[in-house]
Amino acid sequence: MPLLTKSRFKLAVECPTKIYFASHRAEYHNNLDDNDFLKSLADGGHQVGELAKYKYHPDPVSGAITVETLDQKDALAQTDRRLAESGRVVIAEAAVRHQGYFIRVDILIRDDVTKVVEVIEVKSKSLKQEDLKAGFKNAQGEYATSWRPYLVDIAFQTRVVELAMPGYRVVPKLVLVDSDYESSIDGLHQMFAIVRDAEKQKSVKVRRSSTASLSDIRAATEALHEVNLEGIVRDLVSRPLVSGQIPPEHNASFEQFMRWAEALQAEDRRYFARPGKACKSCQFSGSNGARRDGRKECWAHALEQGWVRTESGRLEADPLATELWGGGAGSKSVVGEAIANGAAFVRDIPLLGDLPDESDTSKDGFTPAHRRSLQVAMATDQRSRYRVHHDYLRIMDTWQWPLHMIDFETSAPALPFFKGMSPYEVIAFQFSYHRMDRDAEGRIHISHAGQFIDVNASSFPSYAFVRALKNYLMPNGQLVGTVFRYHHHENTVLRAIGSKLLAAQESAPSDAQALITFIDRITKSGSGKDARVGDKCMVDLHEIVRKGYYSKHAGGSISIKAMLPAILADAPEFAQKYRQPGVYGQGLPIPSLNFGPEGHVWLRADKGNDPYKTLPPVFGEGFEDLDDILFRFEQISDETAEQDGVAINQGGLAMMAYNYTQFAHLSENARHRIREALLKYCELDTLAMVMLVEGLLELRAKRQKMSF
């Protein structure tokens, strides 16, 4: 009989239909059906979990406290043998079963003298004191959405252990990363290297460094903060779960939902939940080879039941209502409202604001309501492909040339890489810089003018990063022209580095003040009356696009990887040069720092005219499976990270690759190969910004020609 594990329970809380899709993983495409090795590089969860073992046992390796096997029966047998021991027993990855429930507890501590069992869940999430003081609740007194999944997870584990081990008091605890901790050593993360499992039982193993002393490791556990959740768990299990996808008749209490979810799993029964805003981020969407699209099956069922309606929408061709852009709507869910009103597809949604007119003389650009209305209108109008707000885009005439396009790649590791760093402190390890010049005749000249990368495992790169950027933008001590970023990431990173320079005092580099002054010039900080804007503050190209250009090809996204193919389709004339050989590369009309004199063709029919698909693999030979997953991760992050227009994910692909280079055991050949691939990826990111500006200039020029 298939058992309800904690991962399946968490899926059921998100949406009960997902239990069925997860149980039939060979049939249904899962965007998050990931490789643990890459996930570990991204979030450091395995490393934090390994460190936590030393918080509760003096030597967990010699003590062999971890149940390694993945087989459920073997894991249960090993756990039972250890629980048969007297006194205090510490078990990592302990297996516990009660009837149809099965869990693996990160760390289980059983004391048969006090009759207490501690259920410890370890997460690589950072803990802030304000979250702790608020009891993980928001201003409305409800458990914050960012914390609720973790709390529900440990509540489920607690109930299973209580049922399986009657007579014991079960104490649930959550172990998190303390964001206030400051590492006293370099290479804390090196104590626990992530390696691929040679036996292929798992895709990742954590190997303790042979040079790391037990005393150093135990000292490092100060980075972890333990939170007792007894009161919170009691509160959670005493009420219904908060989830719009769970039917009320099965959610009268936490226990009732547990039993219902167990029955769905045991009977291998699919329950179709009503569609809602949560469907926007469903991982069982899309298709891959023979695998099916679970989300489309849900919507087909919803159409049959009349839960949603359509006039002429087609599942195989039209965007679902979940694709509606939600930016600028605040706490209101425009997607949720549209679906609640019966809209199956974007084309079925009534206009959510006045449709902007070509003659609009407003200087403020498209409002969020305008963008949504354009998306709805163009879903039904096959003739319209894009709309440009020409009056707003007159702002482009105020830009001082040359134009400087910059893009950063960063990491924020759970376990600090360097001495003096705190968990999740940003590390800036790479940037790319494209420059656009305009001559006296108005001709534009493009060049890949600069770059920086440091993937050495022993050097803190952020200060050298800013110094190199300053030298490129101010070669003669003057900053001439306009600097561009795409969204907030670059501004946030520079402000963080500036704050670290200010706090460094004696350990600050000799040019710290010059670097801080440079950062202040090109960034902004604060808001409202307290806002401080540098005299050469970067222009946000994302904002220019959001207010000045809508493309049907980009749908409900303004991520740069959505806007790039859109502008290439809407302004095809400028794009022609990127289809030609002998144009882009070293010594060619558009010089490059990473592509040789043989040149690189960015737009190729055999690559679907997607510039990113022309790039080489990151991990390369022997790691082809990782490259496939890595590219999929990058695509998913771009499609889902812009949640209601609030933020855009920055560099998931580069961050995972960089984190891999920070292990000393990596060969120099592999490190060099990754470095060369990352240089080309980041180069394309700033070239994409160039292409956006070129395309907008072309669309504006078309309008000006039509006016004569």
Of 210, 238, 266, which one is at a domain's C-terminal end? Answer: 238
In a domain, 352, yes or no: no
- Asked if residue 406 lies in contact with residue 469, where contact means CB atoms within 8 angstroms, the answer is yes
- Asked if residue 403 lies in contact with residue 435, where contact means CB atoms within 8 angstroms, the answer is yes
User: What's the mean pLDDT in 37-64?
Assistant: 87
Same-domain pairing of 559 and 673: yes
Same-domain pairing of 60 and 153: yes
In a domain, 310, yes or no: no
* Of 120-124, 387-391, 667-671, minimum mean pLDDT range: 667-671
pLDDT exceeds cutoff 70 at 536: yes
Give the sign of the dihedral formed by CA 487, CA 490, CA 494, CA 497: positive
Same-domain pairing of 409 and 494: yes
- Asked if residue 25 lies in contact with residue 194, where contact means CB atoms within 8 angstroms, the answer is no
What mean pLDDT value characterizes the chain?
88
Same-domain pairing of 507 and 565: no
Predicted pLDDT at 630: 53
Residue 391 backbone phi and psi in degrees, to 5: -65, -40
Predicted pLDDT at 29: 87
Predicted pLDDT at 641: 40
Most distant CA pair in the chain, distance: 92
Q: Select the more confidently predicted residue: 465 or 352.
A: 465
Instruction: For residue 590, list its beta bridge partners.
Output: 584
Domain count, the chain: 3
Q: What is the pLDDT of residues 680-693, one digit of tens each?
A: 999 999 999 999 99
CA dist 702 and 574 (Å) reads 12
User: What's the mean pLDDT in 307-311?
Assistant: 93
- pLDDT band for position 98 (cuts 50, 70, 90): very high
CA dist 705 and 708 (Å) reads 6
pLDDT exceeds cutoff 80 at 290: no
In a domain, 330, yes or no: no
- Asked if residue 136 lies in contact with residue 81, where contact means CB atoms within 8 angstroms, the answer is no
Instruction: Tell me which residue of 89, 2, 44, 151 sits closest to 427, measured CA to CA.
Output: 44
Predicted pLDDT at 650: 36
CA dist 530 and 523 (Å) reads 14
Three-state secondary-structure class, residue 138: coil
Alpha carbon of 242 to those of 174, 251, 257: distances in Å? 20, 9, 11
Same-domain pairing of 534 and 676: no
Of 189, 205, 238, which one is at a domain's C-terminal end? Answer: 238
* Of 91-95, 176-180, 701-705, minimum mean pLDDT range: 701-705
List, as one string, the DSSP characters of 11-58: HHHH-THHHHHHHTTTTB--TT---HHHHHHHH-HHHHHHHHHHHH-S
Same-domain pairing of 450 and 516: yes
Same-domain pairing of 105 and 207: yes
In a domain, 229, yes or no: yes
In a domain, 280, yes or no: no
pLDDT exceeds cutoff 70 at 706: no
Question: What single-letter DSSP state applies at residue 222?
Answer: G
- pLDDT band for position 327 (cuts 50, 70, 90): confident
- Give, for 156, the enclosing helix (H) or strand (E): helix 148-164
Predicted pLDDT at 46: 85
In a domain, 343, yes or no: no
CA dist 656 and 99 (Å) reads 39
- Asked if residue 557 lies in contact with residue 639, where contact means CB atoms within 8 angstroms, the answer is yes
- Domain extent at residue 415: 395-540
Predicted pLDDT at 589: 97
Same-domain pairing of 446 and 579: no
Of 540, 566, 594, which one is at a domain's C-terminal end? Answer: 540
- pLDDT band for position 647 (cuts 50, 70, 90): very low
Same-domain pairing of 522 and 560: no
In a domain, 412, yes or no: yes
- pLDDT band for position 310 (cuts 50, 70, 90): very high
Same-domain pairing of 88 and 192: yes
Instruction: Tell me which residue of 583, 580, 608, 612 sits closest to 595, measured CA to CA.
Output: 583
Same-domain pairing of 160 and 109: yes
Q: Give residues with Cβ within 8 angstroms of 373, minimum separation 6.
A: 351, 352, 353, 354, 355, 356
CA dist 53 and 181 (Å) reads 18
- Asked if residue 127 lies in contact with residue 142, where contact means CB atoms within 8 angstroms, the answer is no
Same-domain pairing of 508 and 567: no
**How many CB atoms are located within 10 Å of the residue 201 CB?**
11
CA dist 411 and 689 (Å) reads 22
In a domain, 41, yes or no: yes
